Structure 1
Amino acid sequence: MSAPAPPPVDMCGPLNPVPCTFTGAEPAPPPAGEPAVTMRDIASFRPATPGNGMEPSGWAVIGLPANFVAAASVQTVPGTLLGRSAEVRFHPVGYRWSHSDGSVVEASEPGATWEALGRAEFSDTSTSHRYAASGRYTVALAVIYVAEYRFDGSAWRWIDGTLAVDAPPQPVLVGEFDTVLVAGDCNARPDGPGC
């Protein structure tokens, strides 16, 4: 099975959460007599709820980057569309993290763990965020999808517009962090410096 083709480059801006239209011709126009399908028509087809992860898990240090990672993938959902057997395929094209401190981080990629990026913990990433004050925060993630459809195994056809799907909110506890230097294992040497 071959990988699905990416959305056409003229589909819309990947970070645009409002419906958008093609600036060029639709790649595969519907055959004569077939109705044009809209985002409203596919309302009963929904991609799975995206994952909203972060590292460190659930906490952050004032002034240091916390790294946020979305879990979303291309998904094909079968069902009935306009009274016919159909499939709708969703492609994630944008990610928007809204932090309850008023900051918004937008990216065209879902982010990755520090390990996967080959970076040290608390390194800046394209999806990281630094909190300026301690407290309890919430991070809301919206994944922006474009969609295509097909009837009974016909050619895939793109649908104008985008769809935003919310992930469960991520609570974040932010505080200060103090480093303590010790001369060795405090269990073996409880009288050592720093123990």
Structure 2
Amino acid sequence: MCAGSGVPGDPEPLLTLADLAAFKPVTPVADSLPHGGGLEHRPIAFTAVGTEQHVVAGTLLDRPADVRFTPALARWDFGDGASDSLDGPAAEHAYDERGTYTVQLAVDFTAEYSFNGSNWIPVAGTVVATAAPYEIRVFEVSTRLVRGTCDEYPSDPGC
């Protein structure tokens, strides 16, 4: 931390993530479409709900302050050995086998602070918020009344 007395006209102090420890970003929630399930070999869309930019008010250095959290990276672990890191809240993944998988999501947020409506001052580094584990069931695909499997004829009805 560097100088800043809080006296009008003095420069604002430069803070670190440790100084902002009392301020927490929202906890993201993992979700999918379709919700809670999907078909093997077919993409499932995942999204990180609650990862919009947001402001948390509180007290910092005995002064009223706001901390603004902005999502920077969503890190997905799909539970089958695959993972992805994206700068947006959405991901897509296809499972090779039926089964139940536990999806893990962690979102890295950048932080900025402001005293009494002053300009936003960025803080080096990121704060990680972790979602509760999300369980998804993947079902086997089988077709009927077609000339073969979807692997053989992917453009046939039902594939």
The verdict on a shared fold, with TM-score over 0.5 as the criterion, is yes
Cα distance in 1 between the residues matched to 2:143 and 2:68: 49
Contact 1:105 1:129 in 2 (8 A): no
**Aligned counterparts of 1:103 and 1:34: Cα–Cα separation in 2:** 44
Matches within 5 A, 1:116-195: 127-181=91-145
User: In the TM superposition, what is the alpha-carbon distance from 1:69 to its structure 2 partner?
Assistant: 1.0
For the 8 Å contact 1:76–1:88, the answer to whether it is kept is: yes
3-state SS, counterpart of residue 111 of structure 2: strand
Residue 78 in 1 paired to residue 57 in 2?
yes
Counterpart of 1:75 in structure 2: which amino acid? H
- d(CA) in 2 for partners of 1:159, 1:104: 28
5 Å matches for 1:88-99? 88-99=67-78
Give the unaligned 5+ runs of structure 1: 1-30, 112-126, 182-195
Does the CA contact (< 8 Å) of 1:50 and 1:143 recur in 2?
yes
> What is the TM-score with the length of structure 2 in the denominator?
0.79
Which TM-score applies when normalising by structure 1? Answer: 0.65
Give the C-alpha shift of residue 42 in structure 1.
0.9
Aligned residue pairs total 137
Residue type of the partner of 1:108? D
Structure 2 counterpart of 1:40, one-letter code: A
CA contact (8 A) 1:52 1:170 kept: yes
Q: Which residue of 1 aligns with 2:46?
A: 68
Question: In the TM superposition, what are the counterparts of 1:4-19 in structure 2 within 5 Å?
Answer: none
Structure 1 or 2: larger strand share?
A: 2
Give 1:177 deviation, angstroms. Answer: 2.0
- 2:35 corresponds to 1:43: no
User: What SS does the aligned partner of 2:72 have?
Assistant: strand
SS of match in other structure, 1:41: helix
Cα distance in 2 between the residues matched to 1:83 and 1:180 = 69
> Gaps (5+ residues) in structure 2?
1-8, 146-159
Greater relative contact order (CA < 8 Å, ≥ 6 in sequence) = 1
Supply the RMSD in Å over aligned alpha carbons.
1.8
Any idea what SS the aligned residue of 2:89 has?
coil
Distance 1:103 1:88 in 2: 34
